Amino acid sequence: METKKKDIRALTKEQLREFFVKQGDKAFRGNQVYEWLWQKSAHTFDAMTNISLETRQLLEEHYVINHIKVDTIQRSKDGTIKNAVQLHDGLVVESVLIPTKSRTTACVSSQVGCSLDCKFCATARLKRMRNLNPDEIYDQVVAIDNESRLYHNRPLSNIVFMGMGEPLMNYNNVLKAIDKITSPEGLGMSPKRITLSTSGVPKMIRKMADDEVKFNLAVSLHSAIDEVRTSIMPFNSTFPLDDLKSSLEYWYEKTGKRITYEYVVWKGINDSNEAIDALVKFCKAVPCKVNIIEYNPIDDGDFEQASPEAINNYLRVLERNRIVVNVRRSRGKDIDAACGQLANKS
Ligand code: SAH
């Protein structure tokens, strides 16, 4: 029965070696298959050309490879590419390749939909359907790496967990995927080139710090005033800013890594001087930098990008307080690939 077969990529290398020993084969066979599964990212057992037909049939009897399938590829006029990725159970997530002069970045999803309810984000409308497995996250990266080589003649240089979902609500699988991405047995990428973006789950930020992870942390802040933040990111009532701040202090103490705050400025919501002062105060807690990101309208609803003057006010006051700040232009807007626009529209 198809459905009884196990996902072979849920096995560790050791478990795969044990499987072969039990079958009367050499443990080393496990290493070979493991290399095909991860480093060579084989989609089928038949692709494993240095494995005998008999062994491939044995694997076929016991296991499946739940490889993702890139269903549709959309290409923006700015070079951004969006993949709609079909999972083995038919659900779909999206991932994005963002090329700039000096880097190509993969923006990958961690969940199908999202359990959080940020009012300005299209993914929130989908609700959370399920967590992605480590291999499903890994496959997205491999797919984007291939496209980067094909369309931009260079390998992928960076990864951001800023696609669909809240990575800290699927922490174990995200961590396993990152382990594979950074391992020489996987893609061998440096963790310094990986950024996990979270809406801010204090308990999990502390856990990450305890785990001494080596990748970077970004927090979607958007407001440093509890009342305002709760109105646009309702889960903030469960994880208020004081709690978030103390978890970030803990993170910095343990990792010594500066934090990036993502921040959209909206008309009438956080474009006041009071909002700016609150952000400045919040930024004093730990070394950080602020990325002001452009708002990508998801419908004709309640949110509207603030005026250039309001954004300039932010820049002026932050810089005066010696806080590093960048303004990030949107990419791939014409194909709904920009921040907050991932919603399986096509
Ligand atoms: N759940 C994670 C990662 C996904 S969202 C997080 O919250 O960080 C990636 C980034 O896009 C976040 O900073 C999010 O706040 C931002 N974002 C969401 N909707 C947006 C929109 N419509 N326009 C611009 N940025 C948006």
The answer to whether the CB of 275 falls within 8 A of the CB of 224 is yes
Q: How confident is the model at residue 346 (pLDDT cuts 50, 70, 90)?
A: low
Kindly report, residue by residue over 106-165, the tens digit of the pLDDT.
999 999 999 899 999 988 888 778 999 999 999 999 999 999 999 999 999 999 999 999
Select from 64, 91, 113 the last residue of a domain: 64
> Are residues 215 and 191 in contact, defined by beta-carbon separation less than 8 angstroms?
yes
Residue with the nearest Cα to atom 20 of ligand 1?
Answer: 340
Please state, for a pLDDT cut of 70, what percent of the chain lies above it: 98
The alpha-carbon radius of gyration of the chain (Å, integer) is: 22
Question: Given a cut of 90, is residue 85 above it in pLDDT?
Answer: yes
Q: What are 258-308's pLDDT values in tens digits?
A: 999 999 999 999 999 999 999 999 999 999 999 999 999 887 678 999 999
* Confidence check: pLDDT of 80 > 50: yes
Q: Is residue 340 part of a domain?
A: no
- Do 150 and 52 fall into the same domain? no
Q: Does 341 reside within a domain?
A: no
Token pair recorded at residue 288: 């950080």
Ligand 1: centre distance to CA 141 (Å): 19
Q: The domain that contains 241 carries what CATH number? A: 3.20.20.70
**Looking at residue 220, what is its pLDDT?**
98
Range of the domain at 325: 69-335
Separation of 45 CA from ligand 1 center, angstroms?
A: 38
Q: Which residues line ligand 1 (CB under 6 A)?
A: 120-121, 162, 166, 197-199, 220, 262, 264, 293, 295-296, 298, 339-340
The answer to whether residues 226 and 80 belong to one domain is yes
Ligand 1: residue whose CA is nearest its atom 15: 220
The model's confidence at residue 1, banded by pLDDT at 50, 70 and 90, is very low
More confident of the two residues 343 and 273:
273
| Ligand 1, pocket-test mutation among 137, 262, 345, most atoms within 8 A of CB | 262
User: What is the CATH classification number for the domain harbouring 43?
Assistant: 1.10.150.530
pTM for the full predicted model:
0.94
Considering the domain architecture, whether residues 94 and 34 belong to the same structural domain is answered as no
CA of 334 to the centre of ligand 1 (A): 17
At which of 64, 83, 98 does a domain end? 64
Q: What is the pLDDT of residues 94-106, one digit of tens each?
A: 999 999 999 999 9
Please give the tally of structural domains in the chain: 2
DSSP secondary structure of 21-48: HHTTS-HHHHHHHHHHHTTS--SSGGG-
Give yes or no for residue 331 having a pLDDT over 50: yes
